[in-house]
A and B are shown apart, each in its own frame.
Chain A
Amino acid sequence: MNYNSDYYNVKQYKTSNEVKWCPGCGDYVILSVIQKLFSELKINKSKTVFVSGIGCSSRFPYYMNTYGVHTIHGRAIPIATGIKLTNPELDVWVITGDGDCLSIGGNHLIHLLRRNLNINVIMFNNRIYGLTKGQYSPTSLKGKVTKSTPSGSIDNSLNVSSFILGNNSSFFARTTDTNGNHMSSVLKEAYFHKGTSFVEIFQNCVVFNNKEFSIYKDKELYLENNKKLLFNNDKKGIILDHNSLELSIVENNLENKEKILTHNQENLNLSSIYSNYEQNQNFPLFLGVFRRLLNKPTYEEDLYKIKAKSSFNNLTIDQIIEGKETWSI
């Protein structure tokens, strides 16, 4: 197939469907970032599938000119699994939300992470149920007043990074809809990662949970591999106490420079420790690639190794059907 230069133009990844998200919704940013990224990476539309569940996030496949399937609540992951196992050549992206992925879909996520299929899971976390008009979700903070929690929610919110890392995910990253460049670089890294790439995107729901993430403004710490953990315009840093294994914040000065932690994507212990501070208001919000473990075998790799081995002595189907004991009349 000869593709002219126009084939990878951003326009080619857009569909003619009118985008129906609310004006000002963070989803527009995500859509735009992904369409531009696909153009940059010259992604083959015919070999790309978007699989979504139910929620505002899950309308996404209709707006991408690739293969797409809008499935049922919480079940995008097993459907994506079926697609990937039977055609591993396809690039499979799961688009989901905090409710779809972590509430009803939580069980499937656990098993995807331990199988490490080579697919990308993008979770739009707006900390609310938007499509159904404003109920609390597993990531809503405790005390959140919503339509179903008029007295404030009494559940502790799910620690997303701990949950993902606790399931030994080979890739976890977080980004926000307020930083399109960062989102693009994170998604690029997720795309190139071989294994399950879980990306959490903090997404603003302008109608039902506006400015949920404004508490993190100027309190972001961008993780970069092999770079020091610095934030607040590099004025502050994070150190680790070697006895208690607790983190603390210090001034980035000559005295502390050496002690400030260097991020290492492959070190699960480190990223797990960061994840314990997710809900700690005294600490910055960790963003970027927490973990990326290279060369962890994927489920489909191992599956195809099994399929390639003939474990039943090269029998043909006819021979298998005949079985071990026949008699002729």
Chain B
Amino acid sequence: MIFNKNKKTIKTAVVRIAGDSGDGIQLIGSQFSNNLAFSGLNISTFPDFPAEIRAPIGTISGISGFQVQFSSENIYTPGDKVDVLIAMNPAALKSNLKDLELGSLLIINLDTFNSVNYKKANYEFNPLESDYLNNFKLIKININSILKDGLKDLTLGNKDIERSKNFFCLGILYWLYNINIEKQKLWIKEKFKNDESLLKINMSSFLSGFNYAENNELFNEYYYVNKFDFEKGIYRSVTGNTAISLGILYLKKISGLNIFYSGYPITPASDILHELSKYNSEFLTVFQAEDEISAICSCIGSSLTGNISFTGTSGPGMSLKTESINLAFIMETPLVIIDIQRAGPSTGMPTKVEQSDVLFAVYGRPGDSALPVISASSPVDCFYSIIEAARISIKFMTPVIFLSDSYIANTSELLNLSNIKNFNFDFDFLKEHMNNKNQEFSKRNANLSKKWFFFGSENNEYRTGGLEKDEKTGVISTNPDNHETLTKIRSEKIKQVSKHIIKPTIYGCQKGELLIISFGSSFGSTRQAVEILVKGGFLIGHLNIKWLYPLHDSIFNYFSNFRNVIILELNNGQFSKILKSFYSGNIIEYNKIQGQPFKVSEILFVIKNILNNNEIIINK
């Protein structure tokens, strides 16, 4: 029987799938997202990894989720509220229901909704009997039974059949959003080409899900999202960490520099080590060190031989690297320290996002050693910013800290590869900077930086190290004036960086009621919120800051054009302290420290309170 199906055209949709870590959620999440992009839609994804490795099946700490927002318009986040939630079991329902938009579609795998699983999910009652579920359009499907039934003529184990339920759900999604299935089918054929039974199971489940939605009367509506007006180019999807790795590789191509990467495994930075290890070749040298300190120290060693060196870590590793960072600072050697921030302090919440290493990055060392700190605002920005970090590090002969966070590290964004070729990365200064023939060690250029003299070049032997040395002769010195002079030179040199970075610009109104400042991953939700408000006629400006230190001169001039200034950050007040040390006016702080990114709705709410306006209606 064919039922009447409504086709509804929409601008944006947010889909989330959640289940046990063994349910293949990440796989179908990324497959669906890739195909959405391929179909011409703008996407942003967020994989929500389980808090524990291999937690007991059916428990909340083992739940793995994947969210994707897709749209015909500009989007900057994977979405606040969800339009379609597929929950594979009660625990998935419990941990994700609060994010489901009222009136939206909730699909559950009825076969897993039993008293044993309710207990595991800490439900004291049967959730299906709860009145609360009346707020949603609930579709209950016996996925396990349907699959077992459909595949019973094949002699296959129950385990394999059950595991293919993720493909069943994938099929439903393709139907629901009217996405062409051919490319997905080709992928399934390719992926499982070496295992005929798995190929049969997964293909069959995928088509089964699609057909189920097509034939079931509860699925009476399907959606169509128009294509996004992409800038011309060739696109690929990147996560923040992938973008860092690719950026480092691209640096090799455009600069010809020797590159060294050393890291120690730590969540959420390990993928950078994994990715770069594949390219341990003529492109770069990669070294897994025995600990965080060895990682950064081997980078310092390679910097002395003329390599631009990178080390990636998170909060706990940053603490360990402190002394070594100072050594590189006083020796004035290039070095990029990548901090993928996570909720702290100490072990904290390793898989959750936070922006609380800001003060540490800028000031957190004994002695006067404030450092340049660049903060990437999105996965694509990671690509460009890591190259920028290297450029400044070499030009100014100083360690530079590159901040990202676990949210950017794992979300994906579409990177326009054609734009890369047209970008001016500005490495022309290298040739003269690395010319070791003029042995003027003590000479500083207008930026107060010295040339890059490296070990091994003929007849240039010199000794360096952590002790303070006379600025002219290079001999160890405790002379009072010398130390003061050098401390000031080192500090001033870092400040000079602000003259070599792009001037940050305000998005939205250049003058008005409120200027919102963001940095790092808070950029996305902030930009989305400001776009909505500016369209609605509010006099709001958005200033996203890339270099947290030194600050570009223009920033404080902007402040005077707005009645109010607010800084949003995922910490208990850090960047605000830096801003306030340079600005005597009022800056409102909005801090969120929940291990979760800002929601667009939350930012709108906060701004509303500040502006004292009426309810803001958001049209999707």
Q: Which residues of A contact B (CB under 8 A)?
A: 1, 15, 17, 45-47, 49, 51-52, 61-62, 65-72, 75, 78-87, 89-90, 107-108, 110-111, 303, 306-312, 317-318, 320-323, 325-329
B465 to chain A, nearest CB (A): 3
Interface: B509 (CB within 8 A): no
Which residue of the partner chain B has the closest CB to A307?
Answer: B281
- B368 CB to closest chain A CB (Å) equals 18
B460 contacts across to A, CB distance below 8 A: 46
Decide if A86 touches B252 in the complex (CB within 8 Å). no
Q: Which of B70-78, B451-459, B522-530 lies on the face that meets chain A?
A: B451-459
Given contacts A69-B304, A312-B278, A320-B279, contact A49 B293 (CB under 8 A): no
A82 and B302 contact, Cβ closer than 8 Å, known pairs A67-B455, A90-B456, A317-B250 = yes
User: B464 near A69 (CB under 8 angstroms)?
Assistant: yes
Number of A-B contacts (CB under 8 A): 177
* Cβ distance A282 to chain B, nearest Cβ, rounded Å: 38
Interface string of B460-485 (1 = CB under 8 A from A): 11111111000000011000000000
CA–CA, A17 to B475, complex, Å?
8
Q: Is B560 located at the chain interface by the 8 A CB criterion?
A: no
Asked if A71 meets B249 with Cβ closer than 8 Å, knowing A78-B293, A86-B301, A329-B231, the reply is no
Contact yes or no, B461 A67, CB < 8 A: yes
**Pairwise interchain contact B456-A79, C-beta atoms closer than 8 A:** no
| Cα-based distance from A151 to B304 in the complex (angstroms) | 45
On whether the beta carbons of B466 and A45 are closer than 8 Å, the reply is: no
Kindly state the separation between the CA atoms of A328 and B458 in the bound complex, as whole angstroms. 49
B463 touches A61 (CB 8 A): yes
Query: What bracket does the count of chain B residues touching chain A fall in?
Result: 35 or more
- Known: A81-B298, A307-B285, A317-B250. Contact between A72 and B327, CB under 8 A? yes
CB-CB nearest in chain A for B464 = A69
- Pick the contact of B249 from A86, A89, A311, A321 — CB < 8 Å? A321
Contact between A15 and B455 (Cβ–Cβ < 8 Å)? no
* A83-B304 in contact (CB<8A): yes
Q: Which residues of B are found within 8 Å of A306, using beta-carbon distances?
A: 280-281
Contact A79 B291 (CB under 8 A): no
**Given A72-B327, A111-B290, does the pair A328, B305 have CB atoms closer than 8 Å?**
no
- Interfacial chain A residues near B301, Cβ < 8 Å: 51, 78-86
CA distance A173 to B540 in the complex (A): 72
- Within 8 Å of chain A (Cβ to Cβ): is B300? yes
Question: Residues of B contacting A75 with CB < 8 Å?
Answer: 293-294, 297, 324
Residues of chain A within 8 A (CB-CB) of B280 are 303, 306-307
Cβ–Cβ contact B305 & A87, under 8 A:
yes
Given contacts A90-B456, A303-B280, 10 further A-B contacts (CB under 8 A): A45-B461, A46-B461, A69-B304, A72-B323, A85-B301, A111-B290, A312-B279, A321-B249, A325-B34, A325-B237
Least Cβ–Cβ distance between A323 and chain B, in angstroms: 5
Residues A86 and B258 in contact in the complex (CB < 8 Å), given A78-B293, A328-B235? yes
Q: How far is the CB of B306 from chain A (nearest CB, A)?
A: 8
